[in-house]
Amino acid sequence: MKACAICKGSCRVCVLISVFVCLLKACAKGKRWKTALELLEEMEANGIMPNAITYSVAINACGNGGQAKEALALLDQMKEKKMRINLITYNSAITALSKASKMNAKFPGQSNDSRQAASVTFPKSEVVNVDNEQLWVQALELIEQIKAEGMKPDGFSYSAAISCCGSGGRWKEALEIIETMQKGGPKMRPNKIAYTAAISACGRSGKYKEALKLFTDMKNQGLHADRIAYNAVFSALRVANRPGEAYQLWNEICGKHDEKPTASSTTTPLAVSPDIITVSDVIGTLSRADTIDKDKVDEVFEEAVKRGIVLREESLDSDYEVDLTGMTLPVARAACRYIFNRILANYRKGEKPSEVTLLTGVGRAQQQQQQDGMGDGEKKLTALREYILQDLEEDFDPPMHGIVPQRAQGTVAIAQSQVEAWIAGQ
């Protein structure tokens, strides 16, 4: 920080401002935006007027905490006081909009489908009540303000703006920004974050062709596609109901090679593995009621087991007591088939079957069948426990009838006699 021309930084006010700047930087690093705002108030209460540096650092704290309203309010105060606003400060404000849009996309208006988010999770109490429609518009307005003040937005500016568009499903605007970045200099070229955000924007709108093209462009630019980028494409394919492309991309991320390359294939070696989000999206896409392919679903689930993504060996699960909580409905359905096929295989090796207990929870976490690819038409909220009871009767031949024990309401029990009857029918 520059010292004042008179005291060279030795006077009490300059020393105090330096102290406040250090405290504000600590708040920014720790995402303690409330404390940062309190420090600004404390400065004014003690007769120390915040300068451009203290405001900028405070905006950075709000940006890191995803507090869009507070960041923009501070930016307005700087304008009212005729302070110079640099690119870093503008970028901090756009970052606040970007993180707020991710918060809004995660919580308000969303059903709890128990899909784990690919992005950073935020405490629900921290979510700002700002419409995503406002956020992406404000982000683009800040980009225009940067240009109007004679500065050039950099890759950070554009990437944060694309992120806002992505959370709001504004795929056209995201693609326009990507094109602008591609035409710019080295500092403006889209990075992996920008591409992934644009893919997410296309995915939310079911624009899978655009998502796949961006994915291919990213890799052709020499940018290594990580798991987040892959999952963004898988999400786009799930929304667009494209099981064929999802299955091909699954083989790609698993390092398997078909004779026919996928729409995104390159010769670049992969060093990325799928996770539970990947598995949920792929199985959800393959499990659409009108196109369900149980063989491929079971193949994907078996691969997920081998990779330790589901039914991990280090868990407390056994062959006859398995925890299904946290799984989406399609994944839980595939898990049931895997569990009983494993019991059948062990029986044929001489192992006597026993009662099976499936942990499901008591139904607080409900899922939307249509959203997870389990049906068309009207969306229905279904508890995992009730879904498993129904699945045992509809997905198995002969059907098995599970019960909910009186003293274990969060479980589904299948009696040994039911298991034996099913085995006898195979």
Query: Helix 243-253 vs helix 276-286: angle between axes, to the nearest 10 degrees?
Result: 150
| Closest to 422 measured CA to CA, from 332, 353, 324 | 353
What's the pLDDT at 25?
A: 93
The CA distance from 283 to 395, in Å, is 16
| Closest to 162 measured CA to CA, from 149, 147, 144, 176 | 176
- What is the CB-side half-sphere exposure of residue 336 using CA atoms within 13 A? 31
What's the pLDDT at 256?
A: 83
Neighbours of 399 (CB within 10 A): 14
- Let me know if 218 is exposed, middle or buried by CB neighbors in 10 A (0-12, 13-18, 19+): buried
**Contact present, 194 and 159 (Cβ < 8 Å):** yes
- Identify the residue whose tokens are 């193949």: 299
Which amino acid belongs to residue 393? E
What's the pLDDT at 258?
A: 55
**Contact present, 113 and 276 (Cβ < 8 Å):** no
The CA dihedral of 241, 329, 101, 211, to the nearest 10 degrees, is -20
Q: Which residues are CB-neighbours of 396 under 8 A, at least 6 positions away?
A: 340, 422
Q: Which residues are CB-neighbours of 172 under 8 A, at least 6 positions away?
A: none
Q: How far out from the chain centre does Cα 165 lie?
A: 15
| Closest to 231 measured CA to CA, from 165, 296, 171, 277 | 277
Neighbours of 377 (CB within 10 A): 8
Could you list the pLDDT tens digit for every one of the 426 residues in the chain?
A: 444 544 444 567 788 888 999 999 999 999 899 999 999 999 989 888 889 999 999 999 998 888 899 999 999 999 999 999 999 999 999 989 988 887 776 543 443 333 333 333 333 334 444 555 688 999 999 999 999 999 999 988 999 999 888 888 889 999 999 999 988 888 788 988 889 889 988 888 889 999 999 999 999 989 988 898 999 999 999 999 999 999 999 999 999 865 444 455 544 445 689 999 999 999 999 998 677 889 999 999 999 999 999 998 777 678 899 999 999 999 999 999 999 999 999 999 999 999 999 999 886 444 554 444 444 444 556 789 999 999 999 999 999 999 999 999 999 999 999 999 999 999
What sections of 241-350 are H helices per DSSP? 243-253, 276-286, 294-306, 329-348
Tokens at residue 245, please?
């492309």
- Let me know if 265 is exposed, middle or buried by CB neighbors in 10 A (0-12, 13-18, 19+): middle
Query: Helix 171-183 vs helix 155-167: angle between axes, to the nearest 10 degrees?
Result: 160
Tokens at residue 87, please?
């690119």
Tokens at residue 338, please?
């895997």
Contacts 24+ apart (CB under 8 A), 313-321: 319/343, 319/346, 320/354, 320/355, 320/356, 320/357, 321/356, 321/357, 321/359
- What is the CB-side half-sphere exposure of residue 163 using CA atoms within 13 A? 24
3-state class (DSSP) for residue 157: helix
Q: Which residues are CB-neighbours of 130 under 8 A, at least 6 positions away?
A: 68, 69, 100, 104
What's the pLDDT at 103?
A: 76
Tokens at residue 60, please?
């950075």
3-state class (DSSP) for residue 381: strand
Neighbours of 61 (CB within 10 A): 31
Which amino acid belongs to residue 38? E
Cα-based distances in Å from 176 to 159, 179, 210: 12, 5, 12
